[in-house]
Amino acid sequence: MNDAIINKALASFVPALLLDLNGNLLSANDRARGLVQLPGGNAGKVHYDHLFGERTGIYWGGLLATLQNGLKACIEIAGPGGQWTAWQLLAHDEYFVLLGQETAQPDKLFTHLPLGIQQFSVEGFPVKSNALQKDIWGPHHPIFIQPGYNILRDPVYRQIGLSQLFDDVLVTGRSVKKEILLRYQEFAVGDSVRLSPCYYEATVFPAFNQQRQITDLYLLLKECTAQKLTLMGLEKSARLLDSVVEHLPIGYVQFDHHGFMRRINHTHREFLKIRPGCHEEGYNIMSDPFARMYGFNEMFMTVVTENRMIRKEIEVDFSAENTYTDFSEVRWMDYTLFPLQDPIDKKTIVVALINDITDKKLEHYMRNELQRNTEQLHLFFDAVDMGYATLERDGRVNFMNRKAAQMAGVEIQPGCNIFEVIPAFRTPSPFLDRLARALKSTVSASFSSYFYGMDKWYDFLVTPMRDNTVSVFIRDITGSRKLQKELHRANSQLSKLNRNLLNQNQQLEDFAHITSHNLRAPIANLKALMQLHNHSEKEKEREEYLGMLESVINKTDETLNDLVNVVQIRKETDIRQELLSFETRLQYVSNVLMQDINQSGLQITIDLEESPLVRFPRIYLDSILQNLITNAIRYRMPEKVPTLHFSSRKENGMITLTAEDNGMGIDMNRFGSKLFGFRKTFHKNPDAKGIGLFITKTQVEAMGGSISAESAPGRGTKFIITFKTE
């Protein structure tokens, strides 16, 4: 733009002002003078700020900056007649030009403003308002129906603070703005009427005259209910959130991105028992020694730099922290740190959620311990050489150690029922009844049983437990049982041996006795006769001695033969035995002795039905029967018909044979002990050689039996022979 334009402009009707680089007015054309209400002359002393800045709030510096930024630098002010002029700043070398252009009609603007506007006098009386404002007031507003209405004295508006805005403007001369709950709106919901608040942004600004005096007051009202309600809602949410955070059941601590603690909630404050009056606002997680001790600074850094959440369980000894709290316990804490963005400055903040998990840890620990104990116990039970199982009372298995499973012979899983899975337990038996009873019982029971399939003896101890389960201990006593049996067998063998030894010892003693008496006697005679013979000089005497010698030798030979017989019997204990009939053998022996029996007239009777058979060596039984018959004949009463009665019985698993005669009998008191002795005779009977009963006794005893006699002189004799049965 050049001077020509300027001049032309200035000269023309276009209102124009010429300013220097500092905003001082250099000149103005008449039209412009009128519009900006410039006093005549002295134009050089007027500055833009005085003419425009103070009226519009847009001062020289601000307008100039707009222009220099390449934007259109415009201001609008109202002229003295109320008409608006838009002024555009243009640069021209070392000058600036403000060109004015009248814009719309002020009334029109007033009317069509998208806000409510009401003009008041400085005293507070209403002047005029636009249509929108009339709507806001409503047709029944006192402003329309109450003569002399004054907004400064409206009690309602004073209460809600609207009137005060006018006071403020009158005092300060500046516009003021405030949100006001102006009124309530009624709306019908069904049959009822509800009220909803209507918020307005109220702006009161003054209008000045040329003397800088306030001429009018303007009230602008713009409804902002929606925004206000939204904001209030937000505030409410924020407050709620705040309250929630404060009373969360876990600790909440918030740090700024430098690590300074910005917030700590009530819960955590209570937990830590934070000392009142400590300067917690100075707490920094990066520098606090206690925090560094547990590595919270590193956690914080990780959260900030890697922008991710971190969660850690840490056992914290709070006694190491003395600055902020007296709390001094050791606790297991669960720390969760996560980053958040500050909604305002968009910087990262860090939130820590803190939970005391000591009880949980303890519980966990206890559970682990319990688990470990149980496992150890089970390991232990696996190690012992004894079956162990815990069962429910119905037989379901809770636990069974390895040994018990081995004993059962099948794999048994917990939950199985022993009465179903163990093959030996499927068929009913007295043992099973016993076991089932013991499982139901409230007292311990101990019993043992033999299992044929396994050839095992097991000893059971069944003990009810307090938790209504049952502990079963099983011991394999097969070894000890067998040992016991073997011991028993060895014992009986030993005692049999002992008996045999005693028997043999007795026999040896008998033999010593026999040799002493029955063999030494003839030898002594031989010696004596030899002496007599040697000392004799008479041939006749010597022949006599030799004759006697011969008789002694014959007798000795006889004795020796008897003894050899006896020794033979004793030696041959394993002589062949056979099942013999008493009656048959008796028949046979009777035939052999037929002549003697007939001569003596012996009457033999029998009663052998009850036990007709015996297992015995045949020649022994024949010899025994022969001796008994011979005795009955030899020692019969001369004046009586001799009788002999045989009978056999079974008694206590033994077979007894009795032979009862009616002979002379013997005095048992005198001779009882010698009755069965070698070469013992008790009668003056020349046939008595004292060998028969000795042989009989030897034969009976060699086969494990025994013989005894009942007798009295003149009353007959009863021999009782007991045969051993296998």
C-alpha distances in Å from residue 230, one per residue of 163, 234, 516: 26, 6, 144
Please pick, from the candidates 492, 493, 516, 599, the single residue that binds another protein as defined by CB under 8 A.
Answer: 516
- Is residue 521 near another protein by the rule CB under 8 A? yes
The answer to whether the Cα torsion of 671, 675, 680, 681 is positive or negative is positive
- Of 524, 546, 564, 641, the residue at the interface with another protein (CB under 8 A) is 524
Any contact of residue 508 with another protein (CB under 8 A)?
Answer: no
Q: Coil, strand or helix: which one is 261?
A: strand
Q: How far is the CB of 709 from another protein (least distance, A)?
A: 17
CA separation for the pair 39, 196 (Å, rounded): 53
Nearer to another protein, 174 or 527 (CB): 527
Q: How far apart are CA 683 and CA 634, in angstroms?
A: 10
**Of 629, 627, 621, nearest in space to 699 by CA:** 621
Whichever of 379 and 523 has its CB closer to another protein, that residue is 523
Of 79, 74, 165, the closest CA to residue 124 belongs to 165
247 near another protein (CB under 8 A): no
Q: Which of 143, 407, 474, 529 binds another protein (CB under 8 A)?
A: 529
The one among 121, 448, 469, 525 contacting another protein by CB under 8 A: 525
Of the two residues 501 and 528, which places its CB atom closer to another protein in the complex?
Answer: 528
- Asked if 68 interacts with another protein (CB under 8 A), we say no
Number of residues that bind another protein (CB under 8 A): 29
User: Given the structure tokens 């003056």, which residue do they identify?
Assistant: 684
The dihedral over CA atoms of 168, 169, 170, 171, expressed in degrees to the nearest 10, equals 50
Residue where the block lists tokens 């003295």:
80
Q: Is 512 in the site for another protein (CB under 8 A)?
A: yes
Residue 683 in contact with another protein, rule: CB under 8 A = yes
Nearest distance from C-beta of residue 691 to another protein, angstroms = 12
Q: Which amino acid is at 531?
A: Q
Strands 214-223 and 261-264: unpaired
Q: Among 164, 302, 417, 681, which residue sits at the site for another protein (rule: CB under 8 A)?
A: 681
Nearest distance, CB of residue 506 and another protein, angstroms: 14
Binding flag, residue 513, another protein (CB under 8 A): yes
Residue 275 per-residue DSSP state: P
Residues 155-174 that bind another protein (CB under 8 A): none
> Is 645 within 8 Å of 605 (Cβ atoms)?
yes
To 10 degrees, the CA torsion angle through 139, 145, 150, 153?
Answer: -90
Residue 712 touches another protein, criterion: CB under 8 A: no
Q: Angle 539-571/520-535 helices, nearest 10 degrees? A: 160
Closer to another protein by Cβ: residue 121 or 681: 681
Q: Is 531 in the site for another protein (CB under 8 A)?
A: yes
β 176-189/397-400 pair status: unpaired
Does 682 bind another protein (CB under 8 A)? Our answer is: yes
**Considering the complex, what minimum distance in angstroms separates the CB of residue 540 from another protein?**
13
Q: Measured between alpha carbons, how far is 161 from 203 in angstroms, rounded to an integer?
A: 12
Of the ranges 397-405, 566-574, 634-642, 682-690, which one interacts with another protein (CB under 8 A)? 682-690
Does 688 bind another protein (CB under 8 A)? Our answer is yes
- Name which position in 10, 272, 552, 586 contacts another protein (CB under 8 A): 552
Minimum distance, C-beta of residue 548 to another protein, in the bound complex (Å): 6
For residues 24 and 19, give the distance between their C-alpha atoms in angstroms, rounded to a whole number.
5
Q: Which residues bind another protein (CB under 8 A)?
A: 512-513, 516-518, 520-529, 531-532, 535, 548, 551-552, 670, 680-684, 688, 690
